[in-house]
Amino acid sequence: MVSQEWANLPAAVRRAIENRTGAVAATVSPDNGRNSDFLATLQTEQGPCFVKGVLTGTRRARAQQTEARVGARPNSAAPRLLWDVTADRWHVLGFEAVTGHHPSLAPGSPDLPMVADIVAAMTRELTPSPVELEQSTDQWAWSAPWRRLSTSDRELDSWDKDHLPELLDWEQHGIEAVRGNSLVHGDMHPLNILVSDRARVVDWAWSSVGAPWLDPAALVLRLIADGHTPEQAEEWAKTIPAYRDAPADAATAYAVLVFGMWAYRGVFPGLTDVARQYVRHRLGT
């Protein structure tokens, strides 16, 4: 969670920000935000500005460096990066302030076409990737959640335990299946999307270079979590050419990877159940 208020930031950090924005008159912190030590929309002499700050030398700082690299190469989905400053062991990014609501992904939602449009635009604009980042296949090879679960003392769900060898095989396939040359957001869910007259995608801290169908495939699980059947969610995703063209076994393998990630983390039991049922659907079990 956000741990700092504007008044509690070091004076040198506040000065560095105001050197870019002019005087700050007010701040509004969002309800959500787990990856920053400071997160707020600042009302400034130059207008509103969305600011993210982290202490340097931390895991969060490495993720924010990724977001800064993406923001430096504008695309139609992401808010523009306006400035980037470092002061008193803080790294701070200032973005265009984007307004809107987090979309509903429920069946019949009027937000769904706009979300599909922006994801389709991302797969077109960001292939090949305009930014050099870590490869998706390397990220998954390191995390390998089913491999980790197979060697841990964690108690597995009975279905997971019975099918662990098969899940491990699919994980190995998935690590290669995610390979590609597109800039992938990597954390697609409603809290990272804002919708007004069109959709925008925020928080690119976990981006990588991989297959162009990965972001729409991730949203398939989110649509199911919001009430779609697997078939309905896949039909929505197939309106996005990159997903429609993805090999069926690659999409299955990726679903197994995401299922494993949620099962390993153990903090999203509802999503883990959704992913398990979707994987069972894909495997026909």
Look at residue 104 and tell me if it is in a domain.
no
In this structure, the answer to whether residues 75 and 148 fall within a common structural domain is: no
79 and 130 housed in the same domain: no
Show which of 37, 70, 96 is a domain's final residue.
96
Number of structural domains in the chain: 2
The full DSSP string for 134-199 is: -BHHHHHHHH-HHHHHHTS-PPPPHHHHHTHHHHHHHHHHHHHHT--SEEE----SGGGEEESSSE
- CATH number where 231 lies: 3.90.1200.10
Please tell me whether residues 274 and 155 are part of one structural domain: yes
Does residue 242 share a domain with residue 157?
Answer: yes
Q: Tell me, what's the pLDDT at 34?
A: 64
Q: Quick one: CA torsion of 274, 156, 151, 222, rounded to 10 degrees?
A: 10
**Domain identity same for 79 and 161:** no
User: The CATH number of the domain where 45 resides is what?
Assistant: 3.30.200.20
**58 domain residue, yes or no:** yes
Residues 189 and 54 in one domain: no
Let me know: does 24 contact 44? Beta carbons within 8 Å.
Answer: yes
- Cβ atoms of residues 180 and 136 within 8 Å: yes
Domain final position from 41, 68, 96:
96
Residues 31 and 123 in one domain: no
| CA separation for the pair 117, 129 (Å, rounded) | 19
% of the chain exceeding 90 in pLDDT: 94
Residue 69: partners with Cβ closer than 8 Å, 6 or more residues away: 131, 132, 133
**pTM for this model (two decimals):** 0.94
265 shares its domain with 146 = yes
Q: Which parts of the chain fold into alpha helices (H)?
A: 11-21, 59-71, 112-125, 136-143, 145-150, 158-162, 164-177, 214-225, 230-237, 241-244, 248-265, 269-283
| Structural domain containing residue 232 | 112-283
Do 75 and 124 fall into the same domain?
A: no
| Residue type, position 249, single letter | D
Structure tokens belonging to residue 176: 């290669």
pLDDT higher than threshold 50 for residue 173: yes
Of 96, 122, 149, the residue that ends a domain is: 96
Residue 105 falls inside a structural domain = no
Q: How confident is the model at residue 100 (pLDDT cuts 50, 70, 90)?
A: very high
Q: Using an 8 Å Cβ cutoff, are 223 and 233 in contact?
A: yes
Q: Which of 130, 112, 143 is nearest to 216 (CA)?
A: 112
Whether residues 134 and 83 fall in one domain:
no
Residues 62 and 120 grouped into a single domain: no
Query: Distance (Å, rounded) from C-alpha 214 to C-alpha 243?
Result: 8
pLDDT at 277: 98
30-67 pLDDT, tens digit each: 876 667 899 999 999 999 999 999 999 998 999 999 99
Is residue 1 included in any domain, yes or no? no
